[in-house]
């Protein structure tokens, strides 16, 4: 993604509260998501749980995994089935990049969130919506999307923070409904994957390996792209597995900028460290004379940090664990996005969503985070969403979808999940 938009002044975009536009789009909903994202059919399990909480007058937060741009749109299926409208947060750049896009998503109930710091306007609006139980609020606790549908990315504490704030100032119950979203191919994408792998190989000056193993070819492409960045930053190509090289490069980028701006390496998880130093650099970027040498230096630092963060989306243990067509496609699309800054589906997919039982926030209001174990409400939410994904993956796609992917022989468990 072009990071130049960060030079512009951020202004909070409030959500649109009317329902007329949503009612007008509703009859065309399934056709729209099929045309825009090639997603059809859409199946939601236990949608009535959201309606029950809303009808009871609870402040409702819907917390879902986030692996595709289409996630907010497919979640609208719950709204369509129950008649309950939602609000949700969307990254500021989605409002900023294309005026028509910002106009459209605002009318679906979206408000902007500035990810380069604490967006107090957005937090206050989220808190108000939940306190007043105006509508359920959709949040993605990973904070961004990692294009690993079967595995949650590093969880942020934003959902639990908003939920606690709303519960402390309100007598009405506040609940969080975890939602697992799982996509399956409903057509064989093999030919499309083959064609696009050849295009990527040619882009990387690799002779196309037509007919060869998809995973190995993806590793060749990723290794080539990674080597270019390693040479630029390290001056040498790294050693070890791709996962090790990616982690080392991300850590090196972070350490260099921590030393420059803080004179020491910050503690904590690598993703948290990257966000901390990125926020610091962005603040300087916004006040620097536009297109001055300093401005460009800061822009390149922001881009390097964005690249380091993106490396968390490329997990080679994830694809080796189960090289399904879905995981191959996710990895391919992520590599394409790194090069072309756009998402192009590789085939028609169906999606299944599972709405979990409510988590009552009152039980966790006074529970504190610990340095070793983190926030207990965030941990519970992670466990619940991952468990839902595990069950959806183990069950496999519905038989009547004629999906080319078969269910896993052994279910994924929390023990298989590891994050840097």
Q: Are strands 174-185 and 349-355 parallel, antiparallel or unpaired?
A: antiparallel
pLDDT, tens digit only, all 420 positions of the chain: 678 888 888 899 999 998 888 888 888 889 989 999 999 999 999 999 999 999 999 999 999 999 999 999 999 999 999 999 999 999 888 887 777 778 888 988 999 999 888 899 999 999 999 999 999 999 999 988 788 999 998 899 999 999 999 999 888 999 999 999 999 999 999 999 999 999 999 999 999 999 999 999 999 999 999 999 999 988 899 999 999 999 999 999 999 999 999 998 887 889 889 999 999 999 999 999 999 999 999 999 999 999 998 887 789 999 999 999 999 999 999 999 888 888 889 999 999 999 999 999 999 998 887 777 789 999 999 999 999 999 999 999 999 998 998 776 544 443 333 333
Query: Tens digit of pLDDT for each residue in 67-87?
Result: 999 999 999 999 999 999 999
| Nearest CA among 140, 136, 126, 135 for reference residue 180 | 140
Confidence (pLDDT) at 1: 64
Q: What is the pLDDT of residues 348-385, one digit of tens each?
A: 999 999 999 999 999 999 888 777 778 999 999 999 99
Q: For position 297, what pLDDT does the model report?
A: 96
Query: Domains of the chain (ranges plus CATH)?
Result: 3-185+348-416 (3.40.1130.10), 190-340 (no CATH)
The Cα–Cα gap between 311 and 113 comes to: 23
Q: What is the pLDDT of residues 169-185, one digit of tens each?
A: 888 999 999 999 999 99
């Amino acid at each position: 993604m072009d990071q130049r938009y960060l030079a512009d002044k951020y202004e909070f975009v409030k959500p649109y509260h009317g329902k007329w536009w949503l009612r007008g789009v509703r009859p065309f909903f399934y056709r729209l998501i099929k045309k825009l994202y090639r997603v059809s059919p859409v199946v939601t399990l236990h949608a009535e749980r959201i309606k029950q909480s809303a009808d009871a007058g609870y402040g409702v937060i819907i917390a879902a995994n986030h692996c595709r741009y289409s996630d907010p749109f497919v979640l609208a299926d719950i709204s369509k089935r129950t008649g309950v409208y939602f609000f949700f947060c969307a990254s500021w750049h989605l409002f900023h990049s294309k005026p028509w896009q910002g106009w459209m998503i605002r009318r679906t109930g979206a408000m902007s969130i500035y990810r380069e710091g604490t967006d107090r306007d957005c937090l206050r609006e989220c808190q108000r919506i939940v306190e007043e139980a105006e509508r359920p609020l959709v949040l993605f606790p990973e904070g961004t999307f990692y294009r690993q549908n079967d595995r949650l990315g590093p969880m942020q504490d934003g959902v639990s923070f908003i939920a606690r704030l709303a519960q402390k100032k309100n007598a009405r119950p506040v609940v969080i409904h975890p939602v697992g979203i799982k996509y399956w191919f409903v057509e064989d994408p093999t030919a499309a994957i083959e064609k696009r792998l050849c295009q990527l190989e040619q882009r990387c000056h690799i002779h196309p390996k037509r007919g060869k193993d998809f995973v190995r070819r993806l590793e060749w492409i990723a290794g080539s792209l990674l080597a270019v960045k390693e040479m630029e930053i390290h001056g040498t190509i790294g050693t070890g597995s791709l996962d090790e090289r990616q982690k080392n490069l991300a850590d090196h980028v972070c350490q260099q900028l921590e030393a420059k701006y803080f004179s020491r390496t910050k503690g904590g998880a690598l993703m948290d460290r990257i966000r901390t130093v990125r926020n610091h650099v962005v603040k300087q970027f916004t006040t620097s004379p536009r297109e001055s040498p300093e401005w460009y230096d800061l822009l390149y630092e922001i881009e390097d940090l964005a690249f380091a963060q993106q490396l968390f989306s490329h997990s080679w243990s994830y694809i080796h664990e189960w090289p399904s067509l879905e995981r191959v496609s996710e990895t391919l699309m992520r590599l394409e996005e790194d090069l072309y800054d756009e998402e192009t589906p590789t085939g028609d997919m169906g999606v299944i969503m599972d709405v979990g039982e409510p988590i009552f926030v009152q039980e966790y209001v006074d529970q504190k985070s610990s340095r070793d174990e983190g926030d207990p409400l965030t941990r519970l939410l992670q466990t619940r969403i991952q468990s839902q994904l595990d069950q959806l993956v183990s069950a496999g796609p519905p038989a009547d979808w004629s999906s080319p992917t078969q269910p896993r022989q052994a279910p994924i468990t929390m023990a298989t999940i590891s994050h840097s």
